[in-house]
Structures are given as C-alpha cells and as structure tokens.
A and B are shown apart, each in its own frame.
Chain A
Amino acid sequence: MTRALIIGATSAIAGAVARLWAEQGHALFLTGRNPERLKLLRHDLLARGAARVETAVLEVTDTLQQEAVISQAVQTLDGLDLALLAHGSLPGSDDWHSSPEAARLAFEVNATATITLLTRLTGLFESRQHGTLVVISSVAGDRGRQSNYLYGAAKGAVSLFTQGLRNRLHGGPVRVITVKPGMVDTPMTRSFDKGLLWATPEQVAIDVVRAVSRGRDVVYSPWYWRWIMLVIRLLPEWLFKRLRL
C-alpha cells in the first residue's frame, strides 16, 4: 500500500489526483486551509476505496506548522512513499502591480513555501532512503509574460529548484517529478474565458499518476504544452517583448 501526503489537497488538481490514488487503495494524508472541505474530501476518498484518509489544516506559509504537519503525516501513516505539492494561488494583477505586499505574499505561497516544504521532505526521504516528490509547477514558469509574470516567476523558481534537486538526487533512492500543467479549468481560473487549449483537472491528474508510475522527470500536461512552450522559449526577446501573451 502506498502512503501519500498531499499538500493543498482542496485544489482541483490535487483533488482529482487524490481520487485516482484512492481508487488504487492508497493511504492518504491531506492538508489544506479549510477543515470543512478537507472533511468533504475525506468522506469522498474513503467511499472511493482509499485505505485510509487523514487530514490536517496547514497554512503553507507557516514554516513551523509545516514541520509539525509533516511529522504528523509520517506518524499517522507509519511512513511516507509519496508527497504531492499542489497548493498555490493565482494573484490578480490588480493587486500585485501596485502592492509590494501582495507581490511578496504571492511569491511566498507559490515559491518560498514550496521550496521550504521540499527541503524538509527531501531531508525526510533521504534519511529513510525512500520516497518520491511530485511538484505541481506551471508552464507559466517557462517564460515571463506580461499577464502573469509574478505567478510565473514563482513557478519558475519551483521548476529550477526541482531541476537542481533532481540533479543532486540522481542515482539515489529519492525521485523528483516536476509537473507543468497548461491552462486548467479550476476555481483558481474561474474568471477566465475558456478556449480550446484548456484542460480539466481530471486530465492533468491522469498525467500526474502516470508520471509517478513511470518515473518521469518533467511532465507537461496536457502533452501539447511541451511543444507550445518550446516555441515560446525559442522566440528571441526583441520579438517576444512585443507580443501580448
């Protein structure tokens, strides 16, 4: 039986992954900010076949609480095989264009908290010689664009950090998987008009679960974003800066 910790479990992508893992009979430890929603998820996942589901409230920016919740997860599930980091928030541009405080907070949630969590979990997995880290980054981290470069900068930091971490841990028992979803129809993106390229959280979840079982390094989800982002990264800056993306 696989034991998985899910940070940001009330997010749509994490919720969809949790369902697939529940159907595979995993034991799950969920964290999120809203205890009522965690309870709804717990009941759903138990009905779907999870061996066990426990929950804890975690504000990811609270580094002391991070430590406590991780040890609680390890104790409750009697060890950990997997950790999925899926928390995040998309700052509205009205806020951070003018407010340094909003910009700092958005970076803290999307980058700093992820990096501190990864540091703790890496230490844990290394000491136990076992474990897989799955991090939800974003295609937004592949190049800074005017529409979301704060979110993109934070996700870019996460992508680089996991890249380096994967490089350091190569050859050892601990694996790192970076997932870069494109545009996904979730509560986080509820104010956007949805077009052809949008995916559902369920599609991304299938890619995440497959990436874990096949031991991939970097996964774009859906797959076509790998090629879209390749083109976007290759555009020369003198051209790119003129584009409205």
Chain B
Amino acid sequence: MSGHSHQSWGRWPRASQQVLPLYWPDDQLPATGDLSLLPRGNGRSYGDVCLNDGGALLDCRQLNRFVSFDPEHGRLACEAGVLLGDIQRLTLPRGWMLSVSPGTQFVTVGGAIANDVHGKNHHRAGTFGRHVVSFELRRTDGSCLQCSPSENPELFRATVGGLGLTGVITRAEIQLKPVSGAYLDQQTVSFDHLDRFFELAAEADRQHEYTVAWIDCLARGPELGRGLLMTADHRDEANCSEPARRRLSVPFELPVSPVRSWSVRQFNRWYFNRQRRNAGRRRVHYQPFFYPLDAVGQWNRVYGRSGFYQYQCVIPEGQAREAVSDILERVSDAGSGSFLAVLKRFGDLPSPGLLSFPMPGVTLALDFANQGQRTLDLMDSLDQLTHAAGGRVNPSKDARMSAAHFQQAYPGWKQLQGLADPGLSSSFWRRVTVAP
C-alpha cells in the first residue's frame, strides 16, 4: 500500500489518499475497511471527480490488455485501463478509429465511459457512451455484472457518465468507425465577432464531420468572441503513419505561473493573427487536430503550484447566443481569461448516461488560473448566467460548483445515488450531494 497523493489534471484542489493498484481484472477489490474507494483511470479529469480526499483510489491503469479486435466489424474489447491513444494506434492500420475522441488521447476507456466524454464530432456521433456495446462492472460487495443497453440497463445508464460511483469498470466492448487513414482535410475560417460564429457554426455542422471553434476570450467590444472555426473531414487516403514525435514538455511545476492576463492577452492576439493568416485548407494528421494540447507534455504545470480550474458549460440553443455573449463579457471584464477558450455546438443525439453533460446547445470551455476567491467568485457568477439560460456545468471538469446548482441541473443525481456502490465515493460526490 503506498501513500502517494495523486492530483487531478487541474492540480487543484489538493487531496491526500491511499493509492491501491488493481493489476488483473479478476483480482479481488482491495478491502479498505471504513475508507471509501474510488476507481481511477489516468487522472486527466480537471477537477475533483478523480480525487477521494481521505479515502483510497483504485489505480486501474494496469488493466491495460486488449481482449479482442474484430477488424471486419470494428468491434474492440479491452480492459478498462487501456488508453484511447493505444486503441487508435492498434486499429487505425486496420481501418478503424474511435467513434468519439475527447481532447486528449491520454485517457482510459474506463474514464471515457465514466465521464461520458464527447469530441469534435458530437453533432454527428453524440457522446462516447453511445458507442459502448457493453462493459463488466465489479462492485465492492463482490458481484460482477455485465451491463449493456439491454442487460442491466439501469446500471448501464447510471455508469455511463456515472463518475466511477456505481462500480469498477474492468472490461468494455466498444464500436469503432471505419476510416481510410490518419489524415484529415482541415479548414480554418476566422470570425471577428461571436455573432458570426453562430451564423457559421450551424452550416459547418451540416457539412463537416468535425467542428470546433477557438475563441479569444479576452477580446472585447466589437471584437468580443472573435475566433477561429476549424472543421475537418477524413481524407480518402490510406496513410496510417504516426506524426512526428512530440518533443516539448514542461519538466517541472513553475514556481511562479507566467499565466497572467497580459501574457495571455498577448498570446491570444499572436495566436489569432497567426491562425488567421494560415486560414484555408490544409491536410493534417488526426493527432494534432484531435489532441492539440497533447503536443506539450504536462502542460498543466504552467499554471504553477496553485493549479487552475476549467469551466465548461452548455447553454440550450435558443438562449446560447445571448448567454455565451454575457459570459464572455464577464470573463473579459474580469481579465482572467484563458488560452484557447473552446466553443462548440452540440448536436441533438441524446446522451445515454443519467449524469451525462452534453445536451443540444452550445458549449463553452475556459481555463482559469487559480487566483483564490477572486476566481471562485467569477465562476459563481458564470454559474448564475448559465443557470438562468437553462444550461449546466460539466461535472467531469468541475472542482467548485455548488451542491444547489448541481442538484438542480442534474435531477438524475438522486437516481444515481440509489444505484451507486455504497463502498465507493469521491471528493466531488461528497461535495455536491450535501443538502444545499
């Protein structure tokens, strides 16, 4: 038993917990007595859904074996600790790729299910959970259940997006999608104002498989919400080569974070202008398009010792234009905006999980360096705007939303609590399930 303190990707909040590894899918879950346990994948969640302060974490990364791959139908079965990037590398040369890919390839299959992650093709494919054929769930009472949309369907719905609280996912079977190769045709269009995004985005979704926009959230006034809309489609080119290896990494936690409003403002301006000059069509490898931040190892260290928050909300279509504009104004006024604010329309394909985040509308994701109460106050005020517009905040990335906000935005939480494994808990779950 080792006592490492594992962090989440946001490096905040800090938590201290025992870490117990699970090496084989048929190993007994460790007995932790009165301590609660939380299954954990690669720890890429930003907030505290992957922390269990005062309890124990079950490290599932060694459950990383493939079980079977059927190259005729694109069905892959593997253990839950397999990383998404390893799946891509295995199946791409045989003509298949993940149906849904989040913004980093360094997440496990179990984590992708438990957070019901989404990607740049949400308008076509919905969330990751929609492509999960079945999984095996082990509970702390010793039971082991097969779950699929038709077998133990209640537990299936509770576990997809269930933040690891219903049991330990040990194996899963997923459906991949056929592709010719590793390359995409990417098109970049710049827009000078948020309004223009809304005009472009709906049409882009109709035409393209992948769409995502980057917003300069520190631009104000007539430039509010200026940004770049990137779209991409698979090329009909049977080239499965790997891209050039990444070389950059942030070797250690920076003692003083260089992320200040002036430096971010300069960076965003430089990035916007550079990309605008490069606008147009390009042939790109899927990795830099899907996983741009993976190019810099441990990039979360640039925020220094106090870490950062990611704020991601979704606003229903009708209210989106106004609410996103209000949020950006608030952020820009506060001057604490981030690199690479991401804006994307979600499609209307239903998410399978009780607690899945995506719903039809527009989602905005922002990073904020942790500057204490000031940052918390800003995000609370964003919650109010989100809430008033009928939207909600993504639990997988959250480290601070109030119990009241969570419970109102996710009425399914009561049902999840009923289906949760009593031996499991997380810092997040204890925080948002208290009586408001």
A192 vs B19: C-alpha distance when bound (angstroms): 12
Partner of B65, one of A43, A190, A192: A43
List chain B residues, Cβ under 8 A from A170. none
A74 vs B62: C-alpha distance when bound (angstroms): 31
B271 located at the interface, meaning its Cβ lies under 8 Å from any Cβ of chain A in the complex: no
B4 located at the interface, meaning its Cβ lies under 8 Å from any Cβ of chain A in the complex: yes
A191 located at the interface, meaning its Cβ lies under 8 Å from any Cβ of chain B in the complex: yes
Given A40-B25, A47-B66, 15 other A-B contacts at CB below 8 A? A12-B23, A37-B24, A40-B24, A40-B65, A43-B65, A43-B66, A43-B67, A43-B68, A44-B65, A44-B66, A47-B68, A48-B66, A48-B90, A187-B21, A190-B2
Q: Which 7 residue pairs spanning A and B have beta carbons closest together?
A: A44-B65, A47-B66, A44-B66, A47-B69, A187-B23, A43-B67, A193-B2
User: What are 11 A-B residue pairs whose CB atoms fall within 8 Å in the complex?
Assistant: A12-B23, A37-B24, A43-B67, A44-B67, A47-B66, A47-B67, A47-B69, A190-B2, A191-B1, A192-B2, A193-B2
Give the interface residue-count category, chain A.
10 to 19
B26 located at the interface, meaning its Cβ lies under 8 Å from any Cβ of chain A in the complex: yes
A43 vs B90: C-alpha distance when bound (angstroms): 14
A-B contact count (CB 8 A): 34
* Shortest CB distance A34–B (Å): 9
* Shortest CB distance B319–A (Å): 46
* Residues of chain B whose beta carbon lies under 8 Å from any beta carbon of chain A: 1-4, 21, 23-26, 62, 65-69, 90
* Shortest CB distance A8–B (Å): 15
Prevailing SS type, chain B contact patch: loop
* Shortest CB distance B196–A (Å): 47
A10 vs B66: C-alpha distance when bound (angstroms): 15
List chain B residues, Cβ under 8 A from A134. none
| A47 and B25 contact, CB distance less than 8 A | no
List chain A residues, Cβ under 8 A from B2. 190, 192-194
* Shortest CB distance A187–B (Å): 5
* Shortest CB distance B300–A (Å): 21
| A194 and B66 contact, CB distance less than 8 A | no
A48 vs B93: C-alpha distance when bound (angstroms): 12
* Shortest CB distance A227–B (Å): 22
List chain A residues, Cβ under 8 A from B69. 47
* Residues of chain A whose beta carbon lies under 8 Å from any beta carbon of chain B: 12, 36-37, 40-41, 43-44, 47-48, 187, 190-194
List chain A residues, Cβ under 8 A from B26. 36
Q: Given A36-B26, A37-B24, A41-B65, do A47 and B90 touch, yes or no (CB 8 Å)?
A: yes
* Shortest CB distance A44–B (Å): 4
List chain A residues, Cβ under 8 A from B21. 187, 190
A194 vs B5: C-alpha distance when bound (angstroms): 12
* Shortest CB distance B336–A (Å): 35
* Shortest CB distance A147–B (Å): 17
| B65 and A194 contact, CB distance less than 8 A | no
A187 vs B24: C-alpha distance when bound (angstroms): 10
List chain B residues, Cβ under 8 A from A47. 66-69, 90
* Shortest CB distance B77–A (Å): 9
* Shortest CB distance B173–A (Å): 13
Chain B residue at smallest Cβ distance from A193 = B2
Chain A residue at smallest Cβ distance from B93 = A49
List chain B residues, Cβ under 8 A from A43. 65-68
A59 vs B404: C-alpha distance when bound (angstroms): 59
* Shortest CB distance A69–B (Å): 22
A187 vs B62: C-alpha distance when bound (angstroms): 10
List chain B residues, Cβ under 8 A from A36. 26
Q: Given A37-B24, A40-B25, A48-B90, do A193 and B67 touch, yes or no (CB 8 Å)?
A: no
List chain A residues, Cβ under 8 A from B24. 37, 40
A191 vs B62: C-alpha distance when bound (angstroms): 16
Which has the most chain B C-beta neighbours within 10 Å: A43, A193, A194? A43
Chain B residue at smallest Cβ distance from A201 = B62
* Shortest CB distance B252–A (Å): 13
Chain B residue at smallest Cβ distance from A37 = B24
List chain A residues, Cβ under 8 A from B4. 194
